[in-house]
Structure 1
Amino acid sequence: MTYPSFEEILDMQHKLSDWRKRYWIEHDLFTWQWWLLLAMFIVPWIIWFKVIPIEKKAECLSFGLLLAALASQLDEIGLNLGAWAYPYQLTQLNRGLNPYNFSFIPVAYMIVYYYFPKWKHFILGNVGVAVLASFVTEPILIKMGIYKTLYWKPIYSFPIYILLPIIFRLIIYYLLEKNKD
């Protein structure tokens, strides 16, 4: 069985990168979808800045950045497995949906993290965000052509949206307790 050489793979990656850049310039840049993605990236951080008090920003940001990093990795895995794709991008530098992974999702969960310090309320808040993300936002992004599911369904995202913030809250609380000693 023959397989491509490393040099052939690099050549193909270079061509694909060039195609993506040309596609982004001709298809994405300055369309209404692009402007929406830009707003989706900026507006949540403006809200975050206004609603989270200065003394809680570092703790909330730690929680949110953990979520953003994992959301980005899971997004990359889904893209590589062919579960979904993004016909519109804010930039052509990567394939993930950065406004969603690094703004919309982490900011929503940081707000829940701050406003619902009791576990029961935090979990209920997470379920609310999970419902919004899975059954409202994802279908809207699909209808707008920004998000294209191939074999993934929004229902598959629902438990992930609930579980990840719980895990990261446990990690942050553990680190805060360890730091007190």
Structure 2
Amino acid sequence: MDQDVVKIIDENVNQIEGLIQQKVEIWQEHVVFSPLWWMGVGLSIIPWIIWYVYHKKDSTDRLLYSGYAVMIMALILDVLGDQLALWHYRYNVLPILPTYLPWDLTLMPVAIMFLLQIKPNVNPLIKAVLFALITSYLAEPFFVWLEVYQPVHWHYTYSVPFQIIIYLIAHYVSKRNDFSEIH
């Protein structure tokens, strides 16, 4: 193995570790227990409680499969966007994750799960477009206004096709019934 490459990689890792430690210190001193941090904690918990009370109980598994799929897609895309410097977040609930967990693990999946169960016979493309327009042109600007989300090299319109695809995949997952019993 080329020792110069190993040295460069190790130096880079050390720099990253130092920046993560600095980020944790900033979070501890300025973010945790701030009003926007508490909002993030509330947005991480309250929508799930509302979903638990109001979801169609006979569709719990189907909705959760879709919700988990949404979480995975949202987390992957959010990490990629952050790492590629397309956007970043302030007031994270947890300091070492480069995503806004309330959005990825609660708001998106819960909103989509509710949309899946409301008027299930409506064309999924219509629902997907509606979801994409609301999240891209209302939710994202709202979080920018709160100064939680900062698009750097990103425009709200770029989010629309991603949101449509995420919704359509969740819809597809919700319609699967090809499960065999575990023996």
Amino acid in the other structure paired with 1:166? L
Separation in structure 1 between the aligned mates of residue 174 and residue 52 of structure 2, nearest angstrom: 20
- 8 Å Cα contact 2:112-2:170 kept in structure 1: no
In structure 1, which of residues 26, 44, 47 is the aligned counterpart of residue 47 of structure 2? 44
Q: CA deviation at 1:167?
A: 2.3
- TM-score, with structure 2 as normaliser: 0.89
Give the share of equivalent positions with the same residue, in percent: 24
Q: How many residues align?
A: 177
- 8 Å Cα contact 1:116-1:125 kept in structure 2: no
Match of 1:127 in 2: 129
Amino acid in the other structure paired with 1:62? Y
Match of 1:89 in 2: 92
Unaligned runs of 5+ residues in structure 1 are: none
2:179 match: secondary structure: helix
Cα separation, partners in 2 of 1:133 and 1:66, compared to 1, 3 Å: same
1:92 match: secondary structure: coil
- TM-score, with structure 1 as normaliser: 0.90
Separation in structure 2 between the aligned mates of residue 126 and residue 43 of structure 1, nearest angstrom: 24
Q: Tell me which moved more, 97-106 or 35-44.
A: 35-44
1:179 match: secondary structure: coil
Amino acid in the other structure paired with 1:46? I
Unaligned runs of 5+ residues in structure 2 are: none
Match of 2:101 in 1: 98
1:11-49, CA deviations, whole angstroms, 9 ceiling, x for partnerless residues? 112201210100111121111111111111112101110
Amino acid in the other structure paired with 1:112? L
Separation in structure 2 between the aligned mates of residue 171 and residue 35 of structure 1, nearest angstrom: 33
1:33-79, CA deviations, whole angstroms, 9 ceiling, x for partnerless residues? 11111111112101110111222111100001101111100001101
1:129-157, CA deviations, whole angstroms, 9 ceiling, x for partnerless residues? 22221111110110111000101011111
Q: Tell me which moved more, 69-78 or 31-40.
A: 31-40
Separation in structure 1 between the aligned mates of residue 61 and residue 138 of structure 2, nearest angstrom: 30
Separation in structure 2 between the aligned mates of residue 171 and residue 56 of structure 1, nearest angstrom: 13
Match of 2:24 in 1: 21
Q: Decide which structure has greater helix share.
A: 1
Match of 2:140 in 1: 138
1:108 aligns with 2:111: yes
